[in-house]
Structure formats: C-alpha cells, structure tokens
C-alpha cells in the first residue's frame, strides 16, 4: 500500500492533483482542506495517502496531515459512507466542527452537505460519537514535513468555471453549484477562494 508521497505538484484540478514522484505521475484525490494548503505548482509537496483498490481501479486519496487521513479512514468505516462522500465531508466542514456536530447530535448541519441525507447523518452520529470522546480541538494541523502553505499559482482558466467543476466533483448538483457561485462576488478571486466561500455558504444555510 502507498501511505505517503513526496514529490512535485505539477497539476491541480480540485479535487484531483497530479504529483510527480521521481518521474512517475500519481493522480491523487484530496479534500479542499488540503487544497487550501498546497504550494504553488512546480513546488515540493508531501501528502499522507490512503489507497483504495477496486476491481476496476486503484485510487489514491491524499491529505495534508496524518490526523486528517485518520478522520477520513474513520468516516469510510461508517456504513453507507464511501471514499467520495468522506472527501466531500472533509471539504465542506472543518474537522472540529464535524466533531462538534457528532457530539451535539446536530444532524441538521450535516444534512446541508451534499450527499448526506437524514439517515446518513444519523448513522454518522451514532457510529462515530464514541470515537470522539477524547477529541481535543486543533488536532488537525498541517504536517510540518513538507506540506507547506504558499501562494497558489494563478490559473489560466476561468476561476469560477474551475470552482464549478470542483463543486460538482465533490457531489453538488450542477444547478446548486451554479447558484452558490452566482451568490458570491468572484471578481479577482482564485478558484480555491470561490470554492471555500461556496462551501461555507452551503453549510451555514
């Protein structure tokens, strides 16, 4: 299994990255929480990874910290929560906020995330609340061994269109994604800024 990758970030189309590791290009799916911490293109990056092997594909998921990966692994153990939905959860709500929702049995906030209905939200709360008894805020800090924060490289594409594609890939319906973006002032903002604002707007409603 592949548990860690260190290489050069050569392409970025959230939620997918392309990482060059000694001449081999790895396609890695990451949550937006990790995208926000990425360095500029052609810079070094370290990702802690989780590999999913299926009959028709071998998929890599990457995270800026070991704690973030641990939460992802805990999520996919919940009945009915696959890797894609776990990635959407990590993209749409901060880890500490998710823990608070589970502890407080706040299903109303969880159902605002795409792909989570009432039954899934209740299942998350029931199956995960015992795991968070010893949770202390701020555990999900970025790893200090290469996953650097830096100014993101400017995109040659329309940031709003890139943000729309990313939201759809994260599970939002095209109409909902378009509505979220139209409600924002996107002038001069990067695609990552637009995605962040859209996700925050969606969860707060």
Q: What is the CATH classification number for the domain harbouring 118?
A: 1.10.150.20
* Domain of 94, in residue numbers: 77-132
pLDDT band at 143 (very low <50, low <70, confident <90, very high): very low
- The reply to whether 140 falls in a domain is no
| Beta bridge mates, 48 | 4, 63
User: What CATH code is carried by the domain that includes residue 200?
Assistant: 1.10.8.10
- The reply to whether 174 falls in a domain is yes
Token pair 């943000």 is at which residue?
163
- The reply to whether 5 falls in a domain is no
**Alpha helices, DSSP H only, in the chain?**
32-35, 66-75, 83-92, 95-103, 107-110, 118-128, 159-169, 174-182, 191-204
The confidence score (pLDDT) of residue 105 equals 92
Average pLDDT over all residues of the chain:
83
| Beta bridge mates, 6 | 46
Q: What is the mean pLDDT of residues 127-138?
A: 69
- The reply to whether 67 falls in a domain is no
- The reply to whether 165 falls in a domain is yes
- The reply to whether 17 falls in a domain is no
Residues 163, 128 share a domain: no
87-114 pLDDT, tens digit per residue, is 999 998 888 888 888 988 999 999 988 8
Residues 127, 87 share a domain: yes
pLDDT band at 144 (very low <50, low <70, confident <90, very high): very low
The confidence score (pLDDT) of residue 205 equals 57
- The reply to whether 184 falls in a domain is yes
The confidence score (pLDDT) of residue 135 equals 62
Total domain count, the chain: 2
Bigger pLDDT: 86 vs 97: 86
Q: What is the mean pLDDT of residues 116-142?
A: 74
- The reply to whether 99 falls in a domain is yes
Query: Which positions ≥6 away from 134 have C-beta within 8 Å?
Result: none
């Amino acid at each position: 299994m592949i548990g860690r990758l260190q290489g050069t970030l050569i392409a970025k189309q959230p939620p997918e990255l392309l990482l060059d590791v000694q001449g081999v290009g790895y396609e890695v799916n990451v949550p937006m929480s990790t995208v926000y911490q990425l360095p500029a293109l052609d810079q070094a990056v370290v990702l802690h990874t989780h590999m999913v092997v299926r009959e028709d594909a071998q998929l890599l998921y990457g995270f800026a910290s070991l704690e973030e990966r641990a939460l992802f692994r805990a999520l996919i153990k919940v009945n009915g929560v696959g890797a894609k939905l776990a990635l959407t959860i990590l993209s749409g709500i901060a880890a500490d906020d998710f823990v608070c929702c589970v502890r407080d049995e706040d299903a109303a906030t969880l159902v605002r995330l795409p792909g989570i209905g009432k039954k899934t939200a209740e299942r998350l709360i029931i199956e995960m609340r015992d795991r968070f008894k010893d949770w202390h805020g701020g555990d999900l800090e970025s790893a200090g061994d290469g996953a650097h924060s830096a100014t993101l490289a400017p995109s040659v594409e329309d940031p709003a269109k890139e943000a729309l594609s990313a939201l759809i890939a994260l599970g939002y319906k095209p109409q909902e994604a378009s509505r979220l973006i139209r409600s924002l002032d996107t002038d001069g903002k990067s695609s990552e800024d637009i995605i962040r604002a859209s996700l925050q707007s969606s969860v707060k409603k």
